[in-house]
Chains A and B, each alone.
Chain A
């Protein structure tokens, strides 16, 4: 005997169509690997931001680590051994993860915001504006990405803020091109034309029609941008242009660890390498699943 109503089974109801967003969540949840990716990403992010508070250890003061050994193999005290500076590798992974994740998400956010605004304006106004704006994108895309990145970093320095800005500023060109294609398409569709014929202003059409209808692409592209930003930061770490010591990020740690591989210090590369690769893979996989979830053809009508 229950007083509450029997829960309605969404999949069986035929008289009313399930809300679109709930269908999208269902399509997303149907993809087991995507759900695993989300769980993994949330788990690692939580560890990165919580572990340094739960078990602070010593992450920045090298002088205080003199009692310990450098490059020590895994033991009960240091689960993943110590790195070449004597810091606990596991603690360092969470600590560096904070920087990699924060920078990746913020830089990814910048690329998508700038790319969306630029692409929308270019695609919507068309004509000369579009041609000029797209030639600028062509020019920026034909400058090699790493090259622009290195030049900007050597010019503006390596503070955390500048790293975010520089990775964001160099990463949005491709996004702008994708969003512009969307805006161009939607502007030509009947409902935009109808709104124009009813006297709607251009700004109104962008806000009410173009933006809501390209939000699916924006979200998907944003996901990939975050993965790309994390990878770009790791490449900077390899070139010695990552976060400055004693702070660290995953790219810098992987680079230091990879150099030590010849000494068989496996614990400095493989655990972090696996975590890092799986983070990037799961972000990309979530992006892929989101694209499916937003696919109109899979929705019931």
Chain B
């Protein structure tokens, strides 16, 4: 039975269920204990499980993430919360040099059941140092898995799957999604963690996106349908690995691809998606692959400029329309 939950509540339920089921699961980070988490994800857990399993840490990202790595090597299942992705930069040594490499360098003798939960993305006027997307940085690190849940249901499923997994997994949560509501079925069987979801079927073009922009892409598809353009919307759900088969199947049907991302266009996730699919689906493409992405600038503080710096629904609609119109008779084909 599905119930309506906010995104943060879905994560909170996942944490609670996993902590209750397995004593080796614990969480640590800044303000996760007494305060209940910056975005309320650990709310109530401190009271229920105590300070040993819900640890408040000092402002010391590399140290407490390193503590998580060590705990994972010793057989625990830590869930590290880094307050925002911007502060994850300080923890990259623990993540990239330790978590991602130790299983490989030890020939699999050490497993790494580590989850790092990170809020990120452009929220509301938090300025350049607090409004980044760093998926491009960690996508390029072999050994990591990256989940990017866009819905409360996926947040619930993917956090539980991440905790159960023996691989190091970064959960990129979008700051503007925490207070979005959606149906969550706590009992339903989840799809594999990396499986992309076709959010809306269509025949005229494929829009591939992830995280909050997958939600915006769906809204754009509704607008496009009013003009007679049927967009197929794919929410990747995972950036490493990427479910290429689902993408290719769609592209072989629609023959046009628009990649939408909040992150800067240059050398970002969209570049990887566009390049791989152009290689794989070359003979199915009826138009050049298009990318719609954030501008190649630090996020402005000014609210108007901030909104202008990342793709909005109207931008997605316009880009999709252009892609279909530049190949006339799009709807006939």
- A and B associate in one complex: no
Interface residues of B (CB under 8 A from A): none
Interface residues of A (CB under 8 A from B): none
